[in-house]
């Protein structure tokens, strides 16, 4: 039985709680962005972002392309292969040299005898080598193409890493707000319990349980804050910038966007024709076959021409005399047997077969990853729908449990359980939204799609790249390798199987 003097105290406590809840709900509904309203419609508290400028995914991609060391390393490898191709093309050019020789002679009386001198300029050019230089050029071109595709593959992987890290920051931001809201609700429950204890309707056990729940919520909030900090550091590392910059900038809530993927058959077709991993392995296979062909030609004859002009003279005192000398030398070399040729041919033939099997294996891995990602997108979408319904039930259950406890009809454990159900439902929504976008990112990665920089339209084009300048060989014109595999001509005919 409640004493008469306790009734005004209980009424004042309930009035204060109602005013607090009214002000709390009004504060949430004011000045909400469309994204925050969408989050509120999902049953989540509105997210609070830093007041700095917005860091979009497009800017993150652009910054990573410019500053991430992993991509810079791949670009350096491309530069190395450009230099190697230039070395091969230099074999088509003549070698020019100049030499001088002076002979000083003395007799036994240490008298200076007439001095002889020779100075000449020579040009040496390989005239014919049965396609050895062409095979070398072909192998170097395919190696260059492979390195360029490896750069594109690294870009695809880096884009996926940035996307996942970006989504992780958004997820931890959602979970942080959920943890903050849970702490507020636990603190409110503690006030309920203390007010009802003063009113004489509840015992001290409810207050101690409420304090324990507040302590747990504070620990969960600290963990959520640490998780968000870790996610921001991971995003900064994926982009290649300082973590403080990420912490000061707001993000676009990409988790609310519904994935838009092409049909699985079309995705597999795109993967087969344009995935950088598959294209790189094929280019490496062609390079191995070209190197095998080059070794097969080492036993073929080669013709070299040397043309020189020089001045030969005697310089006896007092009247020196010189004469001009012209010479042309043609050399035909025919290595009948080189013991290392056959083993080298077998080595590169086996390497080509290995790369062919590696491509088949990588294709199976990508196909499995693609289908798994598509299944994960569909599963996460279903989880989002279920979690929204779950949250609606949890909200209503929490409302009823709160009312029952406020009126003294329900135990405190019912309120604790209802709050736990609500916390679980909100976490389920956040995780389902995150899993859905991560699955979409992995599907795009398996397809070989990389996001272009602003102003670019083709995802297969490497952002920020320009065509690699290729030296022009003297006797045999060779077009420059193109940045995309589909448009990469070879400097020599492809006569390999």
- The confidence score (pLDDT) of residue 309 equals 79
| CA–CA distances in Å: residue 237 to residues 56, 77, 221 | 16, 22, 25
CB hemisphere CA count around 428 (13 angstroms): 20
In whole angstroms, what is the distance from residue 119 CA to residue 104 CA? 15
In whole angstroms, what is the distance from residue 440 CA to residue 376 CA? 8
**Cβ(426)–Cβ(178) below 8 Å:** yes
Verify cis geometry, omega within 30 degrees of 0, for the bond prior to 154: no
In whole angstroms, what is the distance from residue 106 CA to residue 130 CA? 51
* Core vs surface per residue 128-157: b (16+ CB within 10 A) or e: ebebbbbbbbbbbbbbbbbbbbbbbbbbbb
Q: Which three-class secondary structure state does DSSP give residue 125?
A: strand
Q: Which two tokens stand for residue 145?
A: 């193409």
* pLDDT averaged per 10 residues in sequence order, the chain, 497 residues: 45 45 40 49 68 87 90 92 91 85 64 65 84 88 90 90 94 92 89 83 85 92 94 94 91 87 91 91 92 87 83 60 77 83 92 95 94 92 89 90 83 87 90 92 87 44 36 37 36 38
- The confidence score (pLDDT) of residue 319 equals 55
**Cβ(315)–Cβ(167) below 8 Å:** no
DSSP conformation class of 254: G
- The confidence score (pLDDT) of residue 360 equals 95
* CATH class of the domain at 7-89+145-298+340-487: mainly alpha
Nearest to 316 by CA among 115, 156, 452: 115
- The confidence score (pLDDT) of residue 40 equals 55
- The confidence score (pLDDT) of residue 105 equals 63
- The confidence score (pLDDT) of residue 462 equals 38
| CA–CA distances in Å: residue 119 to residues 102, 307, 328 | 9, 14, 16
- The confidence score (pLDDT) of residue 328 equals 83
In whole angstroms, what is the distance from residue 162 CA to residue 110 CA? 83
- Rounded to two decimals, the pTM is 0.73
- The confidence score (pLDDT) of residue 482 equals 35
Nearest to 79 by CA among 9, 150, 1, 178: 150
| CA–CA distances in Å: residue 392 to residues 28, 178, 258, 335, 466 | 18, 15, 21, 85, 54
- Domain residue spans of the chain: 7-89+145-298+340-487
């Amino acid at each position: 039985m409640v004493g008469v003097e306790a009734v005004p105290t209980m009424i004042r406590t309930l009035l204060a709680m109602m005013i607090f809840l009214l002000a709390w709900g009004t504060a949430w509904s004011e000045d909400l962005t469309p994204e925050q309203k969408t989050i509120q419609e999902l049953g989540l508290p509105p997210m609070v972002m830093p007041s700095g400028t917005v860091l979009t995914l497009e800017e993150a991609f652009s910054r990573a392309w410019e500053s991430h060391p992993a991509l810079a390393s791949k670009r350096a490898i491309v530069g190395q292969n450009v230099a190697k191709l230039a070395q091969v093309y230099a074999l088509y050019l003549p070698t020019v040299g100049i030499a001088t020789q002076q002979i000083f002679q003395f007799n036994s009386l240490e008298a200076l005898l007439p001095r002889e001198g020779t100075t000449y300029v020579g040009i040496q050019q390989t005239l014919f080598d049965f396609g050895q230089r062409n095979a070398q050029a072909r192998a170097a071109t395919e190696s260059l193409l492979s390195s360029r595709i490896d750069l594109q593959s690294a870009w695809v992987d880096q884009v996926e890493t940035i996307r996942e890290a970006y989504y992780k920051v958004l997820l931890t931001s959602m979970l942080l707000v959920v943890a903050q809201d849970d702490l507020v609700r636990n603190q409110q429950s503690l006030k309920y319990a203390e007010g009802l204890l003063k009113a004489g309707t509840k015992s001290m056990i409810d207050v101690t349980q409420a304090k324990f729940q507040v302590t747990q919520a504070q620990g969960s909030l600290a963990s959520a804050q640490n998780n968000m900090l870790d996610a921001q550091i991971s995003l900064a590392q994926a982009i290649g910038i300082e973590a403080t910059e990420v912490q000061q900038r707001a993000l676009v809530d990409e988790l609310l966007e519904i994935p838009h993927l092409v049909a699985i058959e079309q995705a597999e077709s795109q993967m087969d024709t344009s995935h950088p991993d598959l294209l790189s392995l094929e280019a490496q296979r062609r390079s191995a076959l070209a190197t095998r062909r080059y070794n097969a030609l080492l036993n073929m004859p080669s013709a070299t021409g040397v043309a020189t002009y020089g001045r030969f003279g005697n310089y006896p005192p007092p009247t020196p005399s010189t004469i001009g000398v012209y010479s042309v030398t043609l050399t035909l070399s025919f290595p009948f047997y080189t013991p290392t040729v056959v083993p080298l041919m077998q080595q590169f033939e086996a390497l080509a077969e290995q790369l062919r099997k590696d491509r088949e294996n990588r294709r199976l891995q990508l196909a499995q990853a693609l289908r798994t990602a598509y299944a994960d997108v569909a599963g996460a979408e279903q989880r989002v729908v279920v979690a929204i319904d779950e949250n609606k039930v949890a909200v209503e259950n929490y409302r009823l449990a709160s009312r029952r406890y406020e009126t003294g009809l329900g135990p405190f454990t019912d309120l604790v359980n209802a709050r736990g159900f609500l916390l679980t439902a909100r976490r389920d929504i956040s995780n389902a939204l995150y899993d859905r976008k991560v699955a979409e990112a992995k599907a795009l990665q398996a397809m070989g799609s990389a996001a272009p920089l602003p102003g670019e339209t083709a995802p297969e084009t490497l952002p920020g790249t320009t065509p690699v300048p290729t030296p022009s060989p003297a006797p045999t014109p060779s077009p420059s390798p193109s940045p995309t595999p589909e448009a990469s001509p070879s400097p020599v005919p492809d006569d390999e199987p």
